[in-house]
């Protein structure tokens, strides 16, 4: 049975929780929150913030940050996994922060154009992992920080937007599939000119949050979801950015899923609440912040949607896409634009590749095969104002 990457992450965080909450010797924990020149972090150690709110560790092939209650919030270089059993994160005396592992070239996380003396890499209680240079007058300057490179998760005070001085852009990017943390198709971005959050699929806008109203609520996000947030919007010569805090201080994260859903949940809770769902945006509808497109296929009509079904359709007229860079949303769009396509499903166990189905009249489904597929459903009068998968 295939175990999803998310479940594997859960196993990692349960392992960490045991380290923190018991006196067991199943793990060795770093004695402080920082790496100093000459220090190393490996698969047998963790680097935890002062209040043990977040920890940095190697596992499941990646350098990762997670919370004490089991929520993964950051992954380094998720397109290129490493041998985490042999991996080591080190900070040298020139200020170079790098990862080395067996049979792999070193991954340079940060290397200054000029050697940087008196550096320290610290795991902060905000969830930010920072490399700083210490100056003789007692001040510090940030050389590199994980908050500048979000993955699929936004946590309090982490920013979306652009650094005007470096032109570096910060956005969330979904996983390729539920079992693959590789860069996916959907992104959550801050649009400073309009003052809106955008969900894009390969650069095309699917959903907009609408303007932030005077009561501190975005137009296209349910009011009840937003009551707990204080939004932080900055626009000056240094940056254009969006971030949030939670009014009661509770940990809440936002995440963008591989299907374009923007959800929110508290720490350790698997159940989540929708902020937005780009998966219900078909180009003809504008409800809930969905954006209309000019290039809609002429063979599709308003109200027509894909619905999830159980079983497997007749394979007689099936065609295949074997490309493993294709996932659910690619398959969905390919089928949507093909007037002969009536349904689709993912081809491989890791939810990549596509199978496309077409039939002239009768859909034959083998209910003994416990697969999931998605079939086009024609609208009824009651469906015209409701969309979904």
Please report which confidence band the pLDDT of residue 268 belongs to, taking 50, 70 and 90 as the band edges.
low
Beta strands 365-366 and 312-313, pairing class: antiparallel
Written as six digits, the tokens of 3 are: 């175990």
What tokens appear for 83 in the block? 């041998």
| Total of domains in the chain | 3
Last residue within a domain, chosen from 269, 292, 315: 292
DSSP 8-class letter at 329: H
Q: Inform me whether the pLDDT recorded for 374 exceeds 80.
A: yes
Same domain, 205 and 278: yes
Q: How many CB atoms lie within 10 A of CB 341?
A: 20
Segment 68-77 shows an average pLDDT of 90
Final residue in a domain of this structure, among 292, 315, 340: 292
- Is the residue at 388 inside a domain? no
Residue 368's pLDDT is 75
d(CA 205, CA 326): 19
- Which has the closest alpha carbon to 254: 194, 188, 201, 191? 188
Say if CB 256 and CB 186 are below 8 A apart: yes
Residue 303 lies in a domain: yes
Give the residue from 292, 326, 354 where a domain finishes. 292
Q: Report yes or no on 193 lying in a domain.
A: yes
Highest mean pLDDT among 7-11, 28-32, 356-360, 378-382: 356-360
Please say if the pLDDT value at position 39 is more than 60: yes
Q: Is residue 389 part of a domain?
A: no
pLDDT at 4 over 50: no
Q: Are residues 258 and 365 in the same domain?
A: no
Say how many CA atoms lie within 13 Å of 121 toward its Cβ. 28
Which tens digit of pLDDT belongs to each residue from 23-35? 333 343 445 899 9
How far is it, in rounded angstroms, from Cα 320 to Cα 202?
Answer: 22
φ, ψ (nearest 5 deg) of residue 12: -60, -45
pLDDT, position 270: 73
**Domain co-membership, 115 together with 30:** yes
Q: What is the CATH number of the domain that holds 269?
A: 2.90.10
Q: What is the DSSP string of 83-137?
A: -TTT-EEEE-TTS-EEEE-TTS--EEEE--SS---SEEEEE-TTS-EEEEEE-TT
- Phi, psi angle pair for 201, to nearest 5°: -115, 110
Taking the C-alpha atoms of residue 186 and residue 220, their distance in angstroms, rounded to an integer, is 18
Do 284 and 372 share a domain, yes or no? Answer: no
Q: In what order do the strands lie in the sheet with 160-163?
A: 168-170, 160-163, 239-246, 229-235
Percent of the chain with pLDDT over 90: 71
156 has pLDDT over 70: yes
| pLDDT tens-digit map of 213-264 | 989 999 999 999 999 999 999 999 999 999 999 988 788 999 999 999 999 9
Q: What string of DSSP letters covers 132-198?
A: EEE-TTS-EEEEEEGGGS--SEE-TT--EEEETTTTEEE-EEEEEETTEEEEEEEEEEEETTTTEEE
pLDDT score, position 382: 53
Residues 285 and 302 in one domain: no
- CA atoms lying within 13 Å on the CB side of residue 72: 25
308 with 277, same domain: the answer is: no
Give the CATH number of the domain where residue 75 resides: 2.90.10.10
Confidence of residue 10 (pLDDT cuts 50, 70, 90): very low
Q: For residue 249, count other CB atoms closer than 10 A to its CB.
A: 8
Calpha distance 98→108 (Å, rounded): 4
The residue range of the domain holding 221 is 150-292
Distance CA 128, CA 74 (A): 9
Task: Tell which residue, 331, 206, 321, 197, has the closest CA to residue 264.
Answer: 197
């Amino acid at each position: 049975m295939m175990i999803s990457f998310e479940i594997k992450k859960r196993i990692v965080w349960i392992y960490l929780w045991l380290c923190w909450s018991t006196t067991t010797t199943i793990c060795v924990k770093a004695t402080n929150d920082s790496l100093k020149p000459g220090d190393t972090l490996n698969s047998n150690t963790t680097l935890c913030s002062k209040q043990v709110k977040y920890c940095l560790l190697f596992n499941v092939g990646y350098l990762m940050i997670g919370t004490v209650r089991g929520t993964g919030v950051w992954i380094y270089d998720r397109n290129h996994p490493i041998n985490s059993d042999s991996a080591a994160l080190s900070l040298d005396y020139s200020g170079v922060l790098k990862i080395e592992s067996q049979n792999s070239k070193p991954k340079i996380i940060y290397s200054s154009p000029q050697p940087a003396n008196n550096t320290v890499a610290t795991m902060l209680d905000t969830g930010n992992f920072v490399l700083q240079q210490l100056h003789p007058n007692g001040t510090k300057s940030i050389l590199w920080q994980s908050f500048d490179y979000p993955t699929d998760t936004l946590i309090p005070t982490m920013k979306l937007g652009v650094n005007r001085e470096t032109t570096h852009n910060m956005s969330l990017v979904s996983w390729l599939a539920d079992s693959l943390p590789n860069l996916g198709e959907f992104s959550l971005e801050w649009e400073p000119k309009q003052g809106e959050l955008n969900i894009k699929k390969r650069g095309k806008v699917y959903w907009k949050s609408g303007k932030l109203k005077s009561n501190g609520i975005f137009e296209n996000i349910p009011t009840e979801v937003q009551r707990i947030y204080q939004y932080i919007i900055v626009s000056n010569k240094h940056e254009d950015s969006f971030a949030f805090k939670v009014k009661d201080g509770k940990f809440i994260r936002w995440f963008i899923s591989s299907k374009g859903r923007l959800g929110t949940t508290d720490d350790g809770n698997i159940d989540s609440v929708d902020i937005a769902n780009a998966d219900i945006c078909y180009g003809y509808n504008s409800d809930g912040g969905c954006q209309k497109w000019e290039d809609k296929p002429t063979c599709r009509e308003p109200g027509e949607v894909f619905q999830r079904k159980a079983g497997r359709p007749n394979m007689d007229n099936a065609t295949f896409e074997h490309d493993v860079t294709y996932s659910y949303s690619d398959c969905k769009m390919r089928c949507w634009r093909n007037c002969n396509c009536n349904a689709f499903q993912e081809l491989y166990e890791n939810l990549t590749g596509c199978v496309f189905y077409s039939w002239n009249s009768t859909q034959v489904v083998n209910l003994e095969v416990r697969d999931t597929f998605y079939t086009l459903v024609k609208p009824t009068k009651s469906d015209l104002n409701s969309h979904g998968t």
